[in-house]
Amino acid sequence: MEKDFSLVRNEEEEDNRNGASYLSVEMMKKVSSMAAPMVAVSVSQFLLQVISMVMAGHLDELSLSAVAIATSLTNVTGFSLIVGFAGALETLCGQAFGAEQFGKIGAYTYSSMLCLLVFCFPVSLVWIFMDKLLELFHQDPLISQLACRYSIWLIPALFGFALLQPMTCYFQSQGLILPLFVSSLGAICFHIPFCWLLVYKLRFGIVGAALSIGFSYWLNVFLLRIFMSNSALHREMKNLGLQELISSMKQFIALAIPSAMMICLEWWSFEILLLMSGLLPNSKLETSVISICLTTSALHFVLVNAIGASASTYVSNELGAGNHRAARAAVSSAIFLGGVDATIASITLYSYRNSWGYIFSNEKEVAHYVTQITPILCLFIFVNSFLAVLSGVARGTGWQRIGGYASLGSYYLVGIPLGWILCFVMKLRGKGLWIGILIASTIQLSVFTLVTFFTNWEQEATRARDRVFEMTPQVKGNQKTQIILEEDTQVLLNHITETV
């Protein structure tokens, strides 16, 4: 099934279709056709925690505060790291699929699952003692206790998420979006009534909100496992040896660390932005406005990240197959689609800047402040559209190390310190914080743009194939040859014996 569905094509076919063109209409259709269902997948997974927070928020203000703080900390200490580590699979599985090394896709997937499950145990300990951590930051004791309680009951969701992310990359790398779409849709349809049942009917409160996320993640895993077991590629995964798993694990860890660095450093910078807003004089107003802006940018990122995921898949597949021209065409097509998204999203938001704040709050002061920050937010969304696409290209190509250093330098050496100065020294308040993040994102985008523009794609294709084949055990091939020779020798001896 996987070979019939293959996204890659041979070099001769690619030359006939693309020629010297780097912006292929055909490739744009392919990238957009994959990105469209990926939007539904991303939105479904994004809404699980949002729905639980909304239902917990209708209990009382204390529950909302506790769940909001717990969600922020569990994202920083757990979920963001798993997403970051799993980003390595977009490179490894995608390039292995392009190189038609189907057995290695299973090896990478299973080895990453094992690594991420082991990682969940120390994270769980941090969540169990979350109240002690919050008290160090002088949080309200009652809120700290409730947040800790929510985090503890969220631990099953952590382990489910550790399996869900590798399985998502497994299907995404092959361009099999339908299983992801069906499982995500099933999970969100289950989550809404089940969360309502636990929170309100069974009166579990915030515990029910946390448990419902875990059940939904595990349901998603169960559905994807059914699809996986019925795939043709599953036969290749049944014959994996210990040596192959260990070698795949080494490759995964080597790429997972810079991948987590690239994704998490950017993710954490927005949490720092929210914490810094709480230090301002009118902290309630500032935090509310920053939260609205963060929610808006997060919703947009879920949409444009689908284009990045599609670009990651096509670029990694084509590089693994050695089709460097097709890989470059995929990059150009994804950037063009990202530009369309950037233009539409930023213009639309700017057009509704006077009414956008009222969607989140009835307070006139909050809505007016949102209107003032919206032009900066529009610029950020414009930049972030291209950044999300090029981040997908980086994951597909294997540039996680470059991305990690770019995130570290742009956000923590420039953006956050500059935002602090603009906010507290220049008295720009929340505007200053967002200007700092905007400048950081622009610097990171500039790095990715330069790297992409000056990349020798033919060398990247060679490097991708070397990555796929470098850990293929030669001993295994020699052993097969030796077994064949021994069998042939035995047949020859038997024939001689019978003749004599």
Q: What is the pLDDT tens value at each position of the chain, 500 positions in all? A: 333 334 444 444 444 444 335 667 788 888 888 888 888 888 888 889 889 888 887 888 788 888 888 888 999 999 999 999 999 999 999 999 998 888 888 899 999 999 999 999 999 999 999 988 888 877 788 888 999 999 999 999 999 999 999 999 999 998 888 999 999 999 999 999 999 999 999 989 999 999 999 999 999 999 999 998 887 777 666 677 778 888 889 999 999 999 999 999 999 998 888 888 878 888 778 888 888 888 899 889 988 999 999 999 999 999 998 888 899 999 999 999 999 999 999 999 999 999 988 888 788 888 899 999 999 999 999 999 999 999 999 999 999 999 999 999 999 999 999 999 999 999 998 899 999 999 999 999 999 999 999 999 999 888 888 888 775 544 343 443 344 334 443 433 454 345 44
Domain residues for the domain of 421 are 259-487
Burial of 357 by CB count in 10 Å (0-12 exposed, 13-18 middle, 19+ buried)?
buried
Same domain, 229 and 320: no
Contacts of 417 (CB under 8 A, 6+ apart): 436
Q: Dihedrals φ, ψ of 411, to 5°?
A: -90, -45
424 to 417, 420, 454: CA distances (angstroms): 11, 6, 39
The count of domains in the chain is: 2
Instruction: Write the DSSP string, 72-83.
Output: HHHIIIIIHHHH
Same domain, 42 and 123: yes
Same domain, 197 and 319: no
Same domain, 124 and 206: yes
Same domain, 265 and 211: no
69 domain residue, yes or no: yes
Listed residues 240, 274, 302: the one ending a domain: 240
Closest CA to 432 of 266, 287, 265, 273: 273
Question: What's the predicted TM-score (pTM) here?
Answer: 0.85
Measured between alpha carbons, how far is 252 from 230 in angstroms, rounded to an integer? 25
User: Tell me, what amino acid is at 446?
Assistant: S
Same domain, 293 and 231: no
Q: Which residues of 319-348 are buried (b: 16+ CB within 10 A; e: fewer)?
A: bbbbbbbbbbbbbbbbbbbbeebbeebbee
251 domain residue, yes or no: no
396 domain residue, yes or no: yes
11 domain residue, yes or no: no
Same domain, 311 and 207: no
Measured between alpha carbons, how far is 255 from 268 in angstroms, rounded to an integer? 20
Same domain, 216 and 352: no
Same domain, 284 and 361: yes
Same domain, 329 and 369: yes
Same domain, 274 and 327: yes
500 domain residue, yes or no: no
Output the CA angle 434-436-441, nearest 5 degrees.
95
Listed residues 211, 240, 269: the one ending a domain: 240
User: Tell me, what amino acid is at 10?
Assistant: N
Instruction: Write the DSSP string, 321-345.
Output: HT-HHHHHHHHHHHHHHHHHHHHHH
- The answer to whether the CB of 390 falls within 8 A of the CB of 312 is no
Measured between alpha carbons, how far is 228 from 225 in angstroms, rounded to an integer? 5
Listed residues 205, 240, 275: the one ending a domain: 240
Same domain, 116 and 221: yes
196 domain residue, yes or no: yes
